[in-house]
Amino acid sequence: MLESLELDTVEPYRDLAYEWAAGTARFAVRADEPSNTRIVDLGAVAPDHDGMVRFRADVRLLRPTSGGSERALVVVPNRGMLGGLPFSLDVPLMMPTAGAPEPGDGFLLDRGWTIAWCGWQWDVVREGGGLGLEAPLATVEPGVMRVEFRPDVDEPTHGLGDSSFLFHFAHYPTVDVADPEATLSVRTAPLGQKETVPRKRWRFVDETHFEIDGGFRAFHWYELVYRSAIAPVVGTGLLAFRDFASSLRDTHNFVFATGRSQSGRFLRQLLFDGLNVDERGNQVFDGVFAHIASARRGEFNCRYGQPALTHPLTPGYGPPYDSAGLLERQRALGGAPKVFFANSSWEYWRGDGALVHQDPHTGTDLPEDPDVRSFHVAGTDHFGKVPIKESLPLANPVHLLDPEPILRALFVQLEQWVCEGVEPSPSQVPRQVDGTAVTRAEALRSFHDVALPDPESLPFTPAIDPDSTTWPLELGDPMVALVSAVDAGGNEVAGIRLPAVAAPVAAYTGWNPRAHREGLPDVLYEFAGSRLPLQTGSPTSDRADYEREVRRVAGELVAARFLIEPDAERTVAEALALYDWAGPIE
Interatomic CA distance for residues 371 and 377, integer angstroms: 20
Each of the 586 residues of the chain gets a pLDDT tens digit; together they read 999 999 999 999 999 999 999 999 999 999 999 999 999 999 999 999 999 999 999 999 999 999 899 999 999 999 999 888 999 998 876 655 668 888 999 999 999 999 999 999 999 987 767 899 999 999 999 999 999 999 999 999 999 988 765 678 899 999 999 999 999 999 999 999 999 999 999 999 999 999 999 999 999 999 999 999 999 999 999 999 999 999 999 999 999 999 999 999 999 999 999 999 999 999 999 999 999 999 999 999 999 999 999 889 999 999 999 999 999 999 999 999 999 999 999 999 999 999 999 999 999 999 999 999 999 999 999 999 988 899 999 999 999 999 999 999 999 999 999 999 999 999 999 999 999 999 999 999 999 999 999 999 999 999 999 999 999 999 999 999 999 999 999 999 999 999 999 999 999 999 999 999 999 999 999 999 999 999 998 777 789 999 999 999 999 999 999 999 999 999 999 999 999 876 543 3
At residue 586, the pLDDT reads 33
Please check whether residue 41 is in contact with residue 92, taking contact to mean a CB–CB distance below 8 angstroms: no
Distances (CA, A) of 505 to 385, 418, 466, 574: 18, 38, 44, 12
Give the integer Cα–Cα distance in Å for 183 and 210. 12
- 258-296 pLDDT tens trace: 999 999 999 999 999 999 999 999 999 999 999 999 999
Distance between CA atoms of residues 377 and 500, nearest Å: 12
Query: What pLDDT was estimated at residue 83?
Result: 81
Q: Angle, nearest 10°, between helix axes 236-248 and 262-272?
A: 90
**CA–CA separation, 316 and 336 (whole Å):** 20
Distance CA 450, CA 512 (A): 10
Give the pLDDT of residue 198: 98
Return the number of other C-beta atoms located less than 10 Å from residue 348's C-beta: 30
**Helix or strand holding residue 25 (H, E):** strand 18-29
pLDDT of residue 513: 98
Q: Are 158 and 77 in contact (CB under 8 A)?
A: no
DSSP letter for each residue of 466-479: TT---SSPP--SBP
57 near 134, Cβ under 8 Å? Answer: yes
pLDDT tens profile 394-414: 999 999 999 999 999 999 999
CB 493 within 8 A of CB 446: no
Angle separating helix axes 565-582 and 543-559, nearest 10 degrees:
150
Could you tell me if 47 and 140 are in contact, meaning their C-beta atoms sit under 8 angstroms apart? no
Phi, psi of 225 (to 5 degrees): -110, 125
Cis peptide before 472 (omega within 30 of 0): yes
| pLDDT value of residue 449 | 95
Instruction: Tell me the CB-side half-sphere exposure of residue 172, using CA atoms within 13 A.
Output: 27
C-beta separation of 570 from 497 below 8 A: no
pLDDT at 517 (0 to 100): 96
Identify which of 122, 173, 184 has the alpha carbon closest to the alpha carbon of residue 148. Answer: 184
**Which SS3 state, helix, strand or coil, does residue 486 take?**
strand
CA gap 77, 63 in Å, rounded:
17
How far apart, in whole angstroms, are the C-alpha atoms of residue 570 and residue 577? Answer: 11
Helix (H, G, I), strand (E, B) or coil at 73: strand
DSSP state of 175: S
DSSP 533-567: --SS----S-HHHHHHHHHHHHHHHHHTTSS-HHH
| CA pair distance 241, 118, nearest whole angstrom | 6
Output the pLDDT for position 126. 78
Using a cut of 0.95, tell me whether the model's pTM lies above it. yes
Q: Percentage of the chain surpassing pLDDT 70?
A: 97
Residue 172 and residue 347: Cα distance in Å, rounded? 29
Burial state string for 407-427 with b = 16 or more CB within 10 A and e = fewer than 16: bbbbbbbbbebbbeeeebeeb
